Amino acid sequence: MRDPDALIARAGVRGDPDRDQHFLVDDRVLDRLPTYLEEIDADASHLLEIGGGTGALTDRLLAVADEVTVVERDRKLAAFLREEFREAIDAGDLTVIEDDALEVDLPDFTASVSNLPYGVSSEIAFRLLPEGRPLVLMFQQEFAERMVAEPDTSEYGRLSVSTQHYADVEIVESIPKEAFSPPPAVQSAVIRAVPRDPDYEVDDEEFFLRFVKALFTQRRKTIRNAIRNTAHITNLEAPDAVVEAADEAILQKRADAMEPREFAALARLALEVGEPAET
């Protein structure tokens, strides 16, 4: 495997915290990341990597996949990846896409293993989760803990419900700051997301996610008041009708005590009686 420090030296770059660039340089961590897919027998025939950097992880992914696609926004890094991995590109094993991962058309990948740029990690995660593919992604520790949080905990919120709507998610490893060059200000964590259908029905996914977001803006309020106070977000013309039709036990709860299935049931009710406006 290529040495991560040597890759940085050959690329002639330095990580830049101001540009959200922290290169993972710990060989042991890099070697472990692909194994989190192997543990669940995930299809690794076409792996997607967001933010290839200098290619330390790319190198490991090429060792286990038939095909790897890397999306790298930085022009200099994309050019380096094309030069460093020219043999793999010529063999058809690697594709380097120089573009923004939030805007580019994603390939038909089977799984993703990525050390995400933290500044856009949430947006990228929610581009990947709806694709229904196994994911091994690195985030800030606090962000990862919110993704896996359970109801009635301080970390539980909109991110928890939205993430767990798409997949079973677990933290598989915490990563110290020293594993990166330069070290970030906070500790990191790796999550594994295994896609599955939720155990509840959602009639309108876009509305469900917006409804969850709205109620968590009022997390200290009861659900009764949160429904009434967020009609400008949910676009409900008749929020009082939802309150009148909902179960009293639910109305007395707060958002951080609501199970995802309870949000789903309430969202279906809101669609039925709340007169949602066209968006």
The answer to whether the bond into 182 is cis (omega within 30° of 0) is yes
Q: Are 8 and 25 in contact (CB under 8 A)?
A: yes
Establish whether 235 is an annotated binding residue.
Answer: no
Establish whether 244 is an annotated binding residue.
Answer: no
Q: Residue 186 has which token pair?
A: 């906070």
Establish whether 92 is an annotated binding residue.
Answer: no
Q: What is the secondary structure of 85-119 as a DSSP string?
A: THHHHHTTSEEEEES-TTTSPPP--SEEEEE--GG
Establish whether 26 is an annotated binding residue.
Answer: no
Q: What pLDDT score does 11 carry?
A: 96
**pLDDT tens-digit readout, 214-272:** 999 999 999 999 999 999 999 999 999 999 999 999 999 999 999 999 999 999 999 99
The two beta strands, 188-195 and 111-115, are unpaired
Establish whether 115 is an annotated binding residue.
Answer: yes
Establish whether 22 is an annotated binding residue.
Answer: yes
Query: Within 13 A of 128's CA, how many CA atoms are on the CB side?
Result: 28
pLDDT in tens, the chain (279 residues): 999 999 999 999 988 777 778 899 999 999 999 999 999 999 999 999 999 999 999 999 999 999 999 999 999 999 999 999 999 999 999 999 999 999 999 999 999 999 998 889 999 999 999 999 999 999 999 999 999 999 999 999 999 999 999 999 999 999 999 999 999 999 999 999 999 999 999 999 999 999 999 999 999 999 999 999 999 999 999 999 999 999 999 999 999 999 999 999 999 999 999 999 875
Domains of the chain (ranges; CATH) run 4-195 (3.40.50.150), 205-273 (1.10.8)
CA pair distance 37, 34, nearest whole angstrom: 6
CA pair distance 123, 213, nearest whole angstrom: 14
Instruction: Kindly list the distances between the CA atom of residue 216 and the CA atoms of 74, 145, 227, 256, in Å, as whole numbers in the listed order.
Output: 35, 17, 10, 8
DSSP letter at 49 equals E
Instruction: Kindly list the distances between the CA atom of residue 181 and the CA atoms of 56, 84, 87, 276, in Å, as whole numbers in the listed order.
Output: 12, 20, 27, 49
